Amino acid sequence: YTNAYGVYNDFYVREYLVNTQTSSQISWIGSVQVGVSLIIGLFTGRAFDAGYFYHLMISGVLLFEFCLFMVSISQPEHFYQLFLTQGLGHGIALGLFYIPGLAVISHWFDKRRALAVGIAMSGSALGGIIYPILLNKWFHGSLGFHSGVRASAGICGGLFAIALVLMKPRYPPNRPISVSILRSLKVFMKDAPYVFVALATLFDLTGLYYPIFFVQLNAIKDGIDPTVAFYTIAMLNGGSLIGRIVPNMFAQKAGVFNVLIPCIYSASILIFCTLAVNSAAGIILFSILYGFFQGSHASLITPAVSTTAVNDAEIGARLGVCFTFMGIGGLIGALNGVYSHGACHLKLSPPITDALLTTSYIFWRPAIFSGLCVFCGATCFLIARALLARRKGRRVI
């Protein structure tokens, strides 16, 4: 569902918040949602290791559904309502169940862990194909925005119920949490390969979400038929569906890092290619290819981090710390954020990518910035792979 945020962003920019907020300010909703959901992993990863799996999952699901309902009763031109519910509220909710949902898979698989995670995460891409099509038709059709959000909440609720029945941790609870977060950080930060993996995720998340959030808006501003533009996010997630499975199949024998690194370099090159994409055929090809490589990044991160773990009991904590770095990357433009309260609206200084975009929609600036960030992330993964190869004494990493 989060992969369909580009539909919301486009709707807010062009219709729902058009008179009171700039595109830069609106982009805070998606940036905060992604950043907060990952930063919370610092705590949820440790809580998962301590045996609080169902506590995290159920509370996250309930909060997610509540926030969706609140979005459905929000009022046009009231930015603060959407920021608090879809940005902050959904960010917290996602943070509560995202890492536990990933880490529990690692409990059940060892040799085929990468493939198992890839298959599980392909469900996210499948939802990313279906939801953008549904949301675009609902928001711009007879159902409208508010009823469309409520309809999507009903679908999400049913799927959450199925997930809660099917998921179960393998290892017994390890209560109480005896090691402090600070001590865990000190231990992990002495592990050089893990440090470079964490830095890689920070750089990658700073740039990877730019095309996902803006591909539909970019297509419309380039004069591409809205009928085609409305399907760009669905096509991107279609590529992501394949990218979350196929590379993981090769990762079993070739090594997680050996597959992940070329995929991230390819994603950075594709971001630079957006500078030359201005036709329907080009945007379709870009969406599918970028979705493939971005999807491989999403599905291979968990097994890559797990590779650095000393034992399976610390996978949750390592994922939590690493995902916190990813959250910082998602919020990197917020470091200059200043809050100012008006009568009805909460305005924030814009994230970097949208500040570079400006109200004149100068797309080459955020494209260069995002492409360089992803390139730096791939290079950090390359260094981490070299260090792990030296430690483990093998080339398949």
- Distance of alpha carbon 33 from alpha carbon 29, whole angstroms: 6
Whether the CB-CB separation of 17 and 289 falls below 8 Å is answered with no
Low-confidence winner among 55-59, 187-191, 241-245 (lowest mean pLDDT): 187-191
Residues with Cβ < 8 Å from 376, sequence gap 6 or more?
203
The more confidently predicted of residues 97 and 230 is: 97
Q: What are 363-389's pLDDT values in tens digits?
A: 888 889 999 999 999 999 999 999 998
Residue 78: pLDDT over 70: yes
CA angle 261-263-267, nearest 5°? 120
Q: What are 188-203's pLDDT values in tens digits?
A: 888 899 999 999 999 9
CA distances from 312 to 128, 302, 317, 319, 328 (A): 30, 12, 10, 11, 25
Residue 396: pLDDT over 50: yes
Angle between helix axes 280-307 and 246-254 (nearest 10 degrees) is 40
DSSP notation for 325-369 = HHHHHHTGGGGG---EE-SS-EE-PPPHHHHHHTTTT-THHHHHH
The pLDDT value given to residue 37: 86
The hierarchical CATH code for the domain 2-167+180-392 is 1.20.1250.20
- Mean pLDDT computed over 29-48: 82
DSSP notation for 253-305 = HH-HHHHHHHHHHHHHHHHHHTTT--SHHHHHHHHHHHHHHHHHHHHHHHHHH
- Mean pLDDT computed over 233-251: 88
The pLDDT value given to residue 174: 58
Residue 47: pLDDT over 50: yes
Residue 177: pLDDT over 70: no
- Distance of alpha carbon 121 from alpha carbon 115, whole angstroms: 10
Tokens of 390: 């030296």
The residues spanned by each domain of the chain are 2-167+180-392
Average pLDDT, the chain: 84
Question: Taking the alpha carbons of 188, 206, 376, 117 in that order, is the dihedral positive or negative?
Answer: positive
| Torsion angle, alpha carbons of 86, 89, 92, 96, to 10 | -90
The pLDDT value given to residue 327: 79
The pLDDT value given to residue 221: 81
- Distance of alpha carbon 287 from alpha carbon 294, whole angstroms: 10
Q: What are 297-348's pLDDT values in tens digits?
A: 988 988 898 888 877 667 777 888 888 888 788 776 443 333 333 333 333 4
Whether the CB-CB separation of 1 and 131 falls below 8 Å is answered with yes
CA angle 348-24-365, nearest 5°? 130
Q: What are 96-141's pLDDT values in tens digits?
A: 998 888 888 877 887 777 788 788 888 888 887 889 889 999 999 9
DSSP notation for 93-110 = HHHHHHHHHHHHHHHH-S
Q: Find residue 347's DSSP bridge partners.
A: 340
The pLDDT value given to residue 338: 32
The pLDDT value given to residue 22: 78
Q: Is the pTM of the predicted complex or chain greater than 0.85?
A: no
